[in-house]
């Protein structure tokens, strides 16, 4: 039967209204995908069908996985044939996992926006390999959050009209091309994730007993591990230091001593948010902190990134949502010289590490964040 026959069979038998019981024909076909030997998959790749669990999926799909990269769809990169809700098209797409983001970003627009930003970044790694007919996102024709998240998570895709589905030779060639893009994108993702950049902030910090008003001001503060680690990047091995996370960790603990509660959990893409500890759970104002490592004494690049990101976040994450705009702070690993006055003129305070602790601009000193 091959891949073309399988895709046609799913389109002709799947019925979302029929549920997920064992005797539902469309679900039987999808569950049987893992046992198929006629799909001409690229070497070492394997496939699984997905039609929903407690309720039927609006957009059924087949996942194609490279076990060296990823074995499950919840997190990481993989390939997928995703059907539109009307079963008129199916799209081969290079996907990012979506379910692991629910705890941090929830479902809906915040997650979709995050996925699109990551997709755009990853898409650059395959831009030169893009073939005619490949697009950024498929159109799945359903209003539910999950199909919309699949659209947003797509790095690159090829859509087929099921009424004019190509033969197995064409589908096999497209899948082989997608498998190559998957490997290339996975390398780019690893290089990006293991760099001193704007990675997600995850929980791996155990609070040490600081507290105010019966609550731990570090309860929502979970910077990444700042220890050295090894990253395998394109046939060479690099040892890097997570200076970005160490900077946030050090300043967050300093902020506690100055009467602030630092928060990173559920704040992505923000680096750090500060509230006055004395205001408890209903803070009147917050401070938005963007941290940057100054590399090779090049303050210019670090300052430019801080300005762009703080203004972008202030606009889209506060003003557009009709929230009170925060005070803005650029946090640096070293003195940024004349750029401190420049940032002050733009309404951005600056703070940097010094031999004696933390120095900063007049606004930072006025907020008692230096010393």
pLDDT tens by residue, 48-94: 999 998 899 999 999 999 998 989 898 889 999 999 999 999 999 99
Question: Domain 2-193 adopts which CATH fold?
Answer: Metal Transport, Frataxin; Chain A (3.30.920)
How far does CA 87 lie from the centroid of its chain?
29
Token match 């004349």: residue?
A: 338
Mean pLDDT of the chain: 85
Is the pLDDT at 170 greater than 80? The verdict is yes
CA–CA distance, 186 with 158 (Å, rounded to integer): 19
| Euclidean distance between CA atoms 285 and 253, whole angstroms | 20
Which helix (H) or strand (E) element contains residue 95? strand 89-96
Distance (Å, whole) CA 227 – CA 205:
13
The third-level CATH classification (topology) of the domain covering 229-366 is Trna Endonuclease; Chain: A, domain 1 (3.40.1350)
In terms of Cα–Cα distance, which of 193, 194, 351 is closest to 272?
Answer: 351
Question: What is the three-class DSSP state of 354?
Answer: strand
**In whole angstroms, what is the distance from residue 243 CA to residue 249 CA?**
10
The domain ranges of the chain are 2-193, 229-366
Alpha carbons within 13 angstroms on the beta-carbon side of residue 201 total 25
- For the entire predicted model, the pTM comes to 0.55
CA torsion 129-186-157-117 (nearest 10°) is -110
The answer, yes or no, to whether the previous bond of 103 is cis (omega within 30 of 0) is no
Integer Cα distance of 214 and 133 in angstroms: 60
pLDDT at 217: 54
Please tell me the least confidently modeled range out of 33-47, 164-178, 210-224.
Answer: 210-224
């Amino acid at each position: 039967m091959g891949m073309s026959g399988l895709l046609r069979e799913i389109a002709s038998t799947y019925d979302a209204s029929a549920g997920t019981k064992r005797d539902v024909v469309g679900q039987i076909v999808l569950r049987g995908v893992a046992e198929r030997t006629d799909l001409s998959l690229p070497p070492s790749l394997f496939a699984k069908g997905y039609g929903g669990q407690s309720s039927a999926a609006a957009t059924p799909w087949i996942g194609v996985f490279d076990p060296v990269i990823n074995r499950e769809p919840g997190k990481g990169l993989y390939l997928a044939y995703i059907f539109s809700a009307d079963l008129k098209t199916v799209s081969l797409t290079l996907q990012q996992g979506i379910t692991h983001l629910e705890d941090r970003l929830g479902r809906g627009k915040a997650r979709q926006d995050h996925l699109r930003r990551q997709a755009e970044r990853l898409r650059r790694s395959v831009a030169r390999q893009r073939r005619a007919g490949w697009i950024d996102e498929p159109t799945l024709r359903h209003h539910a959050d999950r199909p919309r998240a699949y659209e947003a998570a797509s790095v690159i895709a090829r859509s087929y009209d099921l009424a004019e589905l190509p033969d197995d030779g064409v589908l096999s060639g497209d899948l082989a091309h997608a498998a190559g893009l998957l490997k290339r994108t996975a390398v780019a993702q690893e290089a990006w994730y293991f760099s001193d950049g704007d990675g997600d902030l995850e929980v791996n910090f155990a609070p040490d007993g600081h507290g105010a008003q019966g609550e731990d001001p570090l309860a929502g503060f979970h910077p990444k591990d700042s220890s050295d680690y090894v990253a395998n990047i394109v046939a060479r091995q690099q040892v890097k230091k997570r200076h970005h996370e160490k900077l946030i960790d050090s300043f967050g603990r300093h902020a506690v001593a100055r009467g602030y509660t630092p928060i990173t959990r559920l704040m992505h893409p923000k680096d750090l948010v500060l509230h006055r500890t004395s205001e408890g759970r209903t803070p009147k104002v917050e401070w938005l902190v963007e941290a940057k490592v100054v590399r090779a004494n090049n303050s210019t690049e670090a300052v430019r990134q801080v300005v762009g990101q703080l203004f972008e976040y202030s606009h889209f994450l506060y003003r557009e949502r009709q929230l009170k705009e925060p005070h803005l702070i650029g946090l640096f690993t070293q003195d940024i010289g004349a750029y401190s006055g420049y940032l002050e003129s733009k309404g951005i305070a600056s703070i940097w590490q010094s031999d004696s602790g933390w120095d900063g601009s007049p606004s930072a000193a006025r907020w008692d964040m230096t010393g």
